[in-house]
Structure 1
């Protein structure tokens, strides 16, 4: 998918999060640890050299001999060189297991960096979102405070009724509650930003919009890219390969082990032989375990089950990524259309609110009509602001699902020199139970819905529709709810 670099402000937020987030640092250390494990496995076929030394006093007892006891002081120092000649390829498969394990840690690191970068940018947009919602709540409070003061002045002058003052007071209290809720939500998302990025947000104006970011042409392109480039799937594939290599290691227990050994040493009464000062031995040693209580068979069966488990986990990860990518891309398309409707909605409601205010001033509208219109406008503006920020986040989610968020940010992946070559692919280890088709949803055509509406009008004897007048106000909305932590972490 063609991508264009995201704005520098987003790049700086993601970079700061990746440099300071402890989860990323933990993944880096896990990768280095896996590299050392790979080095340890590679040493299996290298010779082993041991230095040994001893000093001892032996006391032996004999029958039918005089004296019946004998004491011998002995010392010795020597070198032993051991080289494995054959171990049923256990060392070879263990090296492969360790190398696949190293790639697992690398892909997990890439997946974590993509996720942390996405979380940081979501936190950035959530802070911007709730700052705007606080501003809208403040404007809503100002409007209701002005209405309350106006009605209170009229009531004191004997022009307005007491019930109007009570209605204005009730709506003012609701506006104050909404403002407090939005301020609390802003506090929570700011705390989340601090946790992820490690520093306070520096956002001073509106959030950067991503309208110019190149998006995939269709859902099929998104799904193909996600299933081939998402690091979580790559890590699951390498886990499967590591489990297969581990199963081969366990199979080697059924074969003999052959070693070449060279040992030399010197000392006083060396190796307990009186008068011996030196000993040199070269030998080929074969050891073949014939029975050990069924432990080898149990380990082979365990490895086979772990191999099946790794395949199941690979398919489960693939399904999760497929769902995430499909939903993220669908959200971008849905929200683009939804923003148009929400913008038209808030524009129409604002015009209706202004008309109601003029009519209220000349006594042609009740206070309740005006208060309802004001609350409906606040709700419409709030919905538009939420959808606008949700759209930018959905675009970022799409990039992350495809494994392309860091490249789109213009950031290199950590430990890029450790990445497998460009020819890496899942090949025959690709997921077997993972859909690659786009979700199909049956939707009633809009023309059919319009026709149903016309039939409904005809059944009620309603004349043909005329150009719409100003929108009628809806009942007052429920108080704004504090967003849950789960909602803010989505």
Structure 2
């Protein structure tokens, strides 16, 4: 159908490689990680001097008016009168100032903020690995479900051909009086049912194609079945130990606990005083006049809380509660991961046992179908017997295909629960994304015009995020 027989052979590794390159989820989480890296840069920048400037041009204008009394003598008699006078004034001044400030002491809040940001970066990196695992596992499922759909359609098409042949044979035998019309009707009914099942299988194939396109980024080619299961730990206990040590969700939960531990110290440090050194230098000039003023100031400032209405104590209690919540999440993650490993191994054992059983069933059903068909030619079996035997063989083959697919998915599900379903662990030929590269460029909060800043611009242009 939709998969051309002339298409290029495509292995599971090819599909995983395409999924890795295509995934928008990975791009999203990589951007989230870069944003977390910038939190470290901003925390480091808080320890450095902040230099800024401010300037203004001010035009001042106005009119001043007043009544001035004056006395005159009329006929020797003094007469006092008031005269109003007004005077206008205007001036323009311009000033520019350079301001600098540095924090000398803050009780360690800025240092703790850097440590919290670093732990958040490590937790986000673990989240990126989890996202990569999700992408890889979805690709495995899409590839294997595509194979299931293709094989099922092929079986259903073959079933229609076989039943059509049986129907033709039943009609020929009816013409010579060897069977009744009932036999013909039974074959005709089975053909209609087979066509219906074929239509359903073709619909599932179209659904599988759409999922393949979404997970892997392109239409499927001619899929090549994997040669075998991936290499897995020998027993469940070893697998659980590996998962609890390496699974990205476990690492992420541990880093969040560490960050929340630091958050308590950060909240407690809020009661400490803050000491800053301020510097200012400026020029003010009266435009149009010959006056100006140049000068500056240096000041040592200290401030700290005396009473905050209980807000600071509340913040400490809140930080402790968040730490306890993170510890609870770590405890839950430990049990969930161990359970997931155990479940995955159980499902793998079930799938393997089912595959062995269905292989035996296919062999037995094949022998039975061939025998019933030969006996029917000799008149020892009815058309219904042949159709039933053919249906049992079809069901056995379909069940075997599904068991093979389920076994392969279960094998990769074990890798998923171990935290080893990544491009590195699978050895995929893909360009590796180094999460430390961007961090190393921004961790020191480089200035845009510095050598490191120019290197950062080059990296951003290379990934198309400038």
Distance 1:232 1:9 in 2: 29
Shift of 1:381: 0.9
Shift of the alpha carbon at 1:23? Answer: 0.8
2:102 aligned to 77, 80, 83, which one? 83
The one-character-per-residue Cα deviations of 1:252-289 (angstroms, maximum 9, x if unpaired) are 322211111122222137xxxxx771332222111112
1:396 corresponds to which residue? 412
Residue 57 of structure 1 contacts residue 71 of structure 1 at CA under 8 Å; is this kept in 2?
Answer: yes
Report the CA distance shift for 1:261/1:116 in structure 2 as closer, same or farther (over 3 A): same
Q: Given the alignment, which residue of 347, 361, 374 partners 1:358?
A: 374
1:74 Cα offset (Å): 4.3
Task: List gaps (5 residues or longer) in structure 1.
Answer: 1-6, 61-65, 270-274, 420-490
Matches within 5 A, 1:64-463: 74-204=93-223, 206-211=224-229, 213-268=230-285, 277-405=293-421, 406-411=423-428, 414-416=432-434, 418=436
**Is the partner of 1:267 in helix, strand or coil?**
strand
TM score, norm. by length of structure 1: 0.75
Distance 2:310 2:58 in 1: 39
Question: Offset of 1:293 from its aligned partner?
Answer: 4.1
Shift of 1:80: 1.8
Runs of 5+ unmatched residues, structure 2: 1-8, 63-67, 69-85, 438-466
After TM superposition, give the deviation of residue 58 of structure 1 in Å: 6.9
Report the CA distance shift for 1:92/1:71 in structure 2 as closer, same or farther (over 3 A): farther
Does structure 2 conserve the Cα–Cα contact (< 8 Å) formed by 1:222 and 1:329? no
Secondary structure, counterpart of 1:214 in structure 2: coil
SS at match of 2:11: helix
Whole-Å Cα distance in 2 between the matches of residues 155 and 10 of structure 1? 50
Partner of 2:56: 54
Q: 1:263 is paired with a residue of what secondary structure? A: strand
Residues 49 and 79 in structure 1, CA contact (< 8 A), matched pair in contact too: yes
- Higher-Rg structure is 2
How far does the alpha carbon of each residue in 1:379-424 deviate from its partner, in whole angstroms, 9 at most, with x for none? 11111111112212222222222222333421378433629xxxxx
Q: Secondary structure in 2 aligned to 1:82?
A: strand
Deviates more, 1:387-396 or 1:357-366: 357-366
Aligned to 1:268, the other structure's residue is in SS state strand
Write the distance in 2 (CA, Å) between the matches of 1:230 and 1:52.
Answer: 52
Q: Return the offset for 1:322.
A: 2.3
For residues 179-213 of structure 1, the C-alpha deviation after alignment (integer angstroms, 9 at most, x for no partner) is 11111111111111100111111225x412215x4
Q: Say which SS state the counterpart of residue 94 (structure 2) adopts.
A: strand
1:25 to 24, 27, 30: 27
Q: Relative to 1, partners in 2 of residues 1:197 and 1:99: Cα closer, same or farther, differing over 3 Å?
A: same
SS of 1:201's equivalent? coil
Following TM superposition, by how much is the alpha carbon of 1:165 offset from its aligned partner in structure 2, in angstroms?
Answer: 2.2
Counterpart CA distance in 2 for 1:72 and 1:87 is 44
CA contact (8 A) 2:341 2:417 kept: yes
| Alpha-carbon distance in 2 for matches of 1:49, 1:243 | 32
Compute the displacement of 1:8 (Å).
9.1
Q: Distance in 2 between matches of 1:203 and 1:295?
A: 65
Alpha-carbon shift at residue 248 of structure 1 (Å): 3.0
Q: Deviations over 1:403-449 (max 9, x none)?
A: 22333421378433629xxxxxxxxxxxxxxxxxxxxxxxxxxxxxx
| C-alpha separation in 2, matches of 1:76 and 1:298 | 45
Q: Distance in 2 between matches of 1:8 and 1:234?
A: 34
Question: What is the CA deviation profile of residues 345-386 of structure 1, one whole-angstrom value per residue up to 9, with x for unaligned ones?
Answer: 121122122222222222222333222221111111111111
Q: Distance in 2 between matches of 1:307 and 1:56?
A: 54
8 A contact 1:209–1:392 mirrored in 2: no
Contact 2:10 2:221 in 1 (8 A): no
* Residues 238/414 of structure 1: CA separation in 2 closer, same or farther (3 Å cut): farther
Name the residue aligned to 1:477.
none
Following the alignment from structure 1 to structure 2, what is the Cα–Cα distance between the partners of residues 248 and 203? 59
Task: Spell out, residue by residue over 1:11-48, the C-alpha distance to the aligned partner (whole angstroms, 9 max, x if none).
Answer: 32212111111111111111111111211111111111
Q: For residue 59 of structure 1, report the CA deviation from its aligned partner.
A: 9.1
Task: Write the distance in 1 (CA, Å) between the matches of 2:98 and 2:377.
Answer: 106
SS of the equivalent of 1:341 reads helix
Secondary structure, counterpart of 2:278 in structure 1 = strand
CA contact (8 A) 2:10 2:222 kept: no
For residue 102 of structure 2, give the secondary structure of its aligned residue in structure 1. Answer: strand
C-alpha displacement of 1:235:
1.8
Q: Residues 8 and 356 (structure 1 numbering): CA distance in 2 closer, same or farther, change over 3 Å?
A: closer
2:17 & 2:419 partners in 1: Cα distance? 16
| SS at structure 2 position matched to 1:365 | coil
SS of 2:99 mapped into structure 1: strand
- Residue 133 of structure 1 deviates from its aligned partner by 1.2
- SS state of the match for residue 208, structure 1? coil
